[in-house]
Amino acid sequence: MSIKINPNCAGHLPFTRRHFLFGSAAAGASLARAEEIGGARVSTRNTARAVVFVNLNGGPSHLDTFDPKDGPWNPRDADIRQSGPFTLSNRFFPKLTRHLDDLLLVRSAAGWEAAHERGQFYMQTAHSQNPALAGETPHIGAVIAREKGGAGLLPPFLSFNQGGLQGAKFLGGLFEPMMPPATRTGITTLSHNHFGAVAQSRERFDRRFALLESLDAPLRQAPMNEAMATYAGYYGRARAMMYNDAVDNIFKFSVEDENRYGATGIGRAAIVTRNAIRANNGAIFFNITQGGWDLHDNQFTAASSIYTLTRDLDNAVSALADDLKATGEFRETLIVVMGEFGRTPGPLNSRSGRDHYRNVQSIAMMGGGIRGGRVIGATDAQGAAITNYGWAGNRPIYPEDVTASIYSALGVDWTKSVLDTPSRRRYDFIVGASEGKFAPVDEFWG
């Protein structure tokens, strides 16, 4: 299997009643109770109950986001400022600079891949893309859903704006991501009030659903294939979410909130994420994708430019942090902002953009027990090479280390393996973790 990455995938996927009832999460014939082993005795940090993973699809330039340098490549209005250990553009991140005490910037990260498809696969799974094993390589959100999910009405894994999501694969449909629309009106299929009063409509829907269950029973008990089992498994969970005001309200928001978050795809997704975190009704891992970062050309002048992308990112993440702080959830919500790789260092290319570069990238983190007000690592004057790793590993921080840190923050043993996959090959949460090759970055917590 291959993931088709659209670098401008900020829009929502088509969404129908069938997607909601059948495709959003859960399955009957999953390996939810698969035989597993722990590769090592580890102690997890267990400092977060939710993770918001902001996927900057297309590969953001570290030089033009979280690791700016003084150089002729900067636009005249970049307004790069120094504040304690931080160097950031006040033009691009005016609101994020209000959160410096909570912000952790990682400037010694690197990727393994320099192609979007493979880089996205690595970021989503912490594994290299191998066509022979792709069907047994789930998204890290699905692993977290398997390990920590089960309580509440909402599926544990929600994803917004992402095409080509890897999903749960062999773990089964119970842990597939639900990919709802993020609109002020919410999910219109949560109720079907087409037959008079709400109670009357609900009673008629209940009768029809009961009939469907009776007719489908033989197929659900002995599904013809994994796909059918996946669809069938979600019937009950989807039904429990319907005609429930507590669930319905999670997916709705006001015009005022929409404007405060920027009235964009990433902003609206962040509002629904905020609502779900506040509701504490089962959702644990939130993937929010912002597309458009593949800026090979005219990165400061095109319609989709650094100006637009950073403004939308700044609005959404800052408003999310503000709101989670106001109600107390910030300290137990880990926010991670990163792309699949960095961009070429130093001067812009001949097309006034930057190309792919895996040797250096930057990551922003907040909340969830992470100690902010710091920068880990450093690069040279052109952002071409890491000059200070800033952590005990004394090497670049790779996607496996970031994933291990996310797992640890949520109380998940990152050294675990699942043995009875469909092919009977062993699936390691993180390859090499049980031997100590990759581990959580303790310095994230201070």
9 Cβ neighbours under 8 A, 6+ residues apart: 57, 161, 162, 163, 164, 289, 291
Q: What is the pLDDT of residue 312?
A: 98
Note the Cα 65 to chain centre separation in Å: 19
Question: Cβ atoms within 10 A of the Cβ of 443, count?
Answer: 19
Rounded average pLDDT over 134-140: 96
Structure confidence at residue 11 (pLDDT): 35
Please state which of the ranges 16-25, 106-115, 397-406 shows the lowest mean pLDDT: 16-25
Q: Quick check: 377 and 383 in contact, CB under 8 A?
A: no
Rounded CA-CA distance 236/24 in Å is 12
pLDDT at 111: 97
What CA dihedral angle connects 428, 432, 435 and 440, to 10 degrees?
Answer: -90
Q: What average pLDDT does the segment 258-268 reach?
A: 98
**Cβ contact 21:234 at 8 Å:** yes
Neighbours of 439 (CB within 10 A): 20
Beta pairing class for 361-366 and 333-339: antiparallel
pTM: 0.89
Give the pLDDT score at 9: 37
Q: What is the mean pLDDT of residues 75-104?
A: 97
What pLDDT score does 230 carry? 67
What pLDDT was estimated at residue 243?
A: 86
Which residue's structure tokens are 């049980």? 434
What pLDDT does residue 321 have? 98
Asked whether the predicted pLDDT for residue 97 surpasses 90, the reply is: yes
For residue 371, is pLDDT > 70? yes
What are 45's two structure tokens? Answer: 């940090």
Of the given ranges (207-211, 303-307, 363-367), which has the lowest mean pLDDT?
207-211
At 321-347, the pLDDT tens digits run: 999 999 999 999 999 999 999 999 999
Going by pLDDT thresholds of 50, 70 and 90, the confidence category of residue 183 is very high
Among candidates 30, 51, 65, 93, which has minimal Cα distance to 229? 30
Question: Would you state the pLDDT for residue 23?
Answer: 37
38 pLDDT more than 70: no
Burial of 67: CB neighbours in 10 Å, binned 0-12, 13-18, 19+: buried
- Which helix (H) or strand (E) covers residue 50, if one does? strand 50-56
**Residue 105: strand, helix, or coil:** strand
Going along the chain from its start, the domains and CATH numbers come out as: 35-163+249-445 (3.40.720.10)
Q: What average pLDDT does the structure give for the chain?
A: 89
